[in-house]
Amino acid sequence: MADMPPDREALQALLDFHVEAGVDLALDETPHNRFAEPAPAPDRQPEPRSPSQRQAASPAAPPATPARPLPKAAAGTPDDAAHLARELAAHAKSLEELEGLLAEFEGCALKFSAKNLAFADGNPEGRVMLVGEAPGADEDRIGKPFMGRSGQLLDRMLATIGLDRTSVYVANIVPWRPPGNRTPTPQEVAICKPFIARQIELAAPDFLLCLGGPATQNLLDVKDGILRSRGRWFTYKAGDGREIRALPTLHPAYLLRQPLQKRLGWRDFQALRRALDGTE
Ligand code: URA
């Protein structure tokens, strides 16, 4: 009996169980420890991706990157991957260059299950930068943060204080969708952190709005849960020593699940408006 193949009904039940548990993506038949796999040899410079990078790479322009080729994959452990991420991120002189390096980076396994890198949306020249947790299905499909229902609520909240994506810059602490929308692991966050830190440094906003607990805890080194930390001003210290006023607030996905809490989100957005106006 034990070696009889499962019947159709049993297979369907197993599939339903996985879908209900959030496993909505078939990656492979057997698990892989990608950190244990040998890293490909450091080979070539990343291809220029954006118009500005293409311009920088043209023969007339001075070289934007040093002659030493940048490796894409870390040698083995998550620490190696985080180390490489720090090296690459520090190397980026512009947001376009940072996006190009991140697109080539192979140290975070999420890259291999995601459809697209969701690096940023909005205006990097804006005074406000918003940072969320990680892309979901819509963001993964489109390749930009906050494109789905959370993004629509975020846009409505921004509109109440006279802002939109022409005046704010939006990113996530992790730029690839975790399979099934699970929370990114501490390891994945640690590997991606140098990139978001450099992104903040290069965008150099006046104000940072941390959307939800993971963004708040990881960027501001806050231990409290979001319901305690929201609405309080913190100082974010950028890598170049610049101090940025930072405000944690509730994540729009949480507000969609708990609409009564929108009044707290509303208070935080009002505080941001006052800060922009120089009255708080
Ligand atoms: N939630 C996030 O934290 N980021 C997104 O981009 C979308 C949903």
Give the pLDDT confidence of 127-157 residue by residue, as tens digits.
999 999 999 999 999 999 999 999 999 999 9
Is residue 140 in some structural domain?
A: yes
Is residue 91 in some structural domain?
A: yes
Is residue 24's pLDDT more than 70? no
11 to 14, 18, 170, 188, 238: CA distances (angstroms): 5, 11, 42, 32, 51
Rg (alpha carbons) of the chain, rounded to whole number:
21
Per-residue pLDDT tens for 218-265?
A: 999 999 999 999 999 999 999 999 999 999 999 999 999 999 999 999
Give the confidence band of 53 by pLDDT, cuts at 50, 70, 90: very low
Selected residue with higher pLDDT from 31 and 213: 213
Is residue 23 in some structural domain?
A: no
Establish whether residue 150 lines the binding site of ligand 1, counting it when its CB lies within 6 angstroms of any ligand atom: yes
Mutate to test the pocket of ligand 1, among 116, 172, 257 (most ligand atoms within 8 A of CB): 172
Token code pair at residue 196: 């978001």
Selected residue with higher pLDDT from 41 and 234: 234
Is residue 30 in some structural domain?
A: no
Range of the domain at 181: 76-276
* DSSP track, 180-204: GGPPPPHHHHHHHHHHHHHHHHHH-
Token code pair at residue 208: 């940072």
How far does residue 117's CA lie from ligand 1's centre (Å)? 13
Find, among 247, 242, 240, the residue nearest to 219 by Cα.
Answer: 247
Mean per-residue pLDDT over the chain, rounded: 87
Indicate the number of domains in the chain. Answer: 1
Which residues lie closer than 8 Å to 98 by C-beta, 6 or more apart? 89, 92, 195, 198, 199, 202
First and final CA of the chain: distance in angstroms? 72
Establish whether residue 216 lines the binding site of ligand 1, counting it when its CB lies within 6 angstroms of any ligand atom: no
- At 12 the pLDDT is 85
Is residue 43 in some structural domain?
A: no
Is residue 60's pLDDT more than 60? no
By the 8 A CB rule, do 142 and 116 touch?
yes
Is residue 222 in some structural domain?
A: yes
Per the confidence metrics, is the pTM higher than 0.85? no
- In this prediction, residues 36-55 reach a mean pLDDT of 46
CATH code for the domain in which residue 223 is found: 3.40.470.10
Rounded to the nearest 10 degrees, what angle do helices 186-203 and 213-220 cross at? 70
Find, among 91, 73, 82, 88, the residue nearest to 36 by Cα.
Answer: 73
- SS3 letters across 135-154: CCHHHHHHCCCCCCHHHHHH
How far does residue 195's CA lie from ligand 1's centre (Å)? 17
Is residue 1 in some structural domain?
A: no
Is residue 48 in some structural domain?
A: no
Find, among 238, 232, 171, 165, the residue nearest to 206 by Cα.
Answer: 238
Find, among 28, 47, 138, 62, the residue nearest to 96 by Cα.
Answer: 47
